[in-house]
Structure 1
Amino acid sequence: MAELLPPSADDLEHQAKLEAGRLLFAQESKFFFGAQRLNQLEPATLPEVAFAGRSNVGKSTLINAITGRKMLARASSEPGRTKQLNFFNIGNQLVFVDMPGYGYAKASKDVKSDWQKMMFAFLRGRPTLLRVMLLLDARIELKQSDHNIMDLLDRAAVTFQVVLTKADQLSAAQLDKKQGEILDVIKEHTAAYPFIRVTSSQKNIGIEDLRADLARLITKN
């Protein structure tokens, strides 16, 4: 019988990070505030992580998967309809900010311009905002609106991390290629965090690691 080796220091560290993430999101998560205009915002008292992405990228589904609450964040029945910032309290330790989806094709130029102005003002003026999780659909090529939001985050000087969603619908080779393409793009952005997290809310891929990332983020700040 082969001798069982003890877990390495790296294995133990990874397990500790996963456990920290599990404990954080085992606590109560609840919606507590929505704002359609910046002058409606309440003073921030907890560290915040915002979720941004094109309409229909799966932001609500991912937030629900991370928190383990099926109906915490609710997706609109019509893509691009949600126009407010939604705030969720995670165990009185962290706040999730669900940002309105961008890039909806049927939205007018004025609506798109207003969205960008509001998001830039929010991002630039929110000192408690630790990071923006920028969700990109793994199946879809980058759109101009994705490049625009990365430029906006650079200008606002807010660190963003790319999270690929719906990754279960690609083969391993397709996923490797996609990650390489995205890494080439984010190298050109000063605000980009140089690591991509691959997820699938349906298959629970990458969710535990994403929880660990978020738990570690608030302990570092």
Structure 2
Amino acid sequence: MSEARDDGERAALIEAGRLLFARPCTFFYAAQKLDQLPPTDKLEIAFCGRSNVGKSSLVNALTGQNALARVSNTPGRTRQLNFFDLGERMTLVDMPGYGYAQAAKSVKADWQGLMFGFLRGRPTLRRVFLLLDARVETKAADNAAMKLLDEAAVTFQIVITKADDCKPARLAARQEEAAAIARKHIAAHPLVLTTSSETGVGMPELRAEIAALLG
């Protein structure tokens, strides 16, 4: 949440986020091609990140549902846009993981094309949450994704994952690095969030950020 908010506003947004994600969240659609996308009838937020960054685990922790998003031990397995219904005002979108080293070049090109086409063509897409692993340095694929977001003029916000598996000094350095990266991108939100799907750290703040988008 923005540092400009006072304590009362922060507390109100934390509660709004809790209530938003207390409701059922259900999978309702999957698309592998742009012409398969569902209608844009309500606000959307999306989650993207490098393969194996913990994206599915974060979606599950965020919604409080252990098996909403499929968690796979095989990086790069998700090759489609998955849509989840969070009530009458919001849809969550789980984007395909990027940067899987062993994926064929044709598959990588398809993923990039799908990502950019979706980002550029969804008028209801309010924000993309871009996930970075606390334990791993920012990769070329991460920088390419942020460049795509800049070019598509879609606001994105960096979310650090797996904070529980990182020593404090390393985590602090990663947070500083992520904040510096955000300052370099015209489409980036300045506030970097830090989370752990295992311990729940940062989930109330992430829910609050999402609730704030509803106005």
Which interval holds the TM-score relative to the shorter structure? over 0.9
What TM-score do you get using the length of structure 2 for normalisation? 0.95
CA drift at 1:218: 1.5
Match of 1:76 among 62, 67, 72: 72
Q: Which runs of 4+ in 1 moved over 4 A?
A: none
State the SS of the aligned residue for 2:67: coil
Query: Which of the pair has more CA radius of gyration?
Result: 1
Q: How does 1:44-193 map to 2 (within 5 A)?
A: 44-193=40-189
Percent identical across equivalent pairs? 56
C-alpha distance in 1 between matches for 2:84 and 2:189: 23
The answer to whether residue 17 in structure 2 is matched with residue 21 in structure 1 is yes
C-alpha distance in 1 between matches for 2:36 and 2:9: 42
Partner residue in 2 for 1:196: 192
CA drift at 1:12: 2.7
C-alpha distance in 2 between matches for 1:57 and 1:194: 21
Partner residue in 2 for 1:34: 30
Partner residue in 2 for 1:3: none
CA drift at 1:10: 3.4
CA drift at 1:77: 3.9
C-alpha distance in 2 between matches for 1:183 and 1:73: 28
Cα pair 1:25 1:91 within 8 Å, conserved: no
Unaligned runs of 5+ in 2: none
CA drift at 1:173: 2.1
State the SS of the aligned residue for 2:75: coil
Unaligned runs of 5+ in 1: 1-8
Cα pair 1:38 1:118 within 8 Å, conserved: yes
Please provide the CA RMSD for this pair: 1.2
Deviations 1:128-166 (A, max 9, x none): 000000001010001110010001111101011000000
Amino acid at match of 1:28: P
What TM-score do you get using the length of structure 1 for normalisation? 0.92
CA drift at 1:207: 0.3
CA drift at 1:91: 1.8
Match of 2:210 among 195, 214, 217: 214
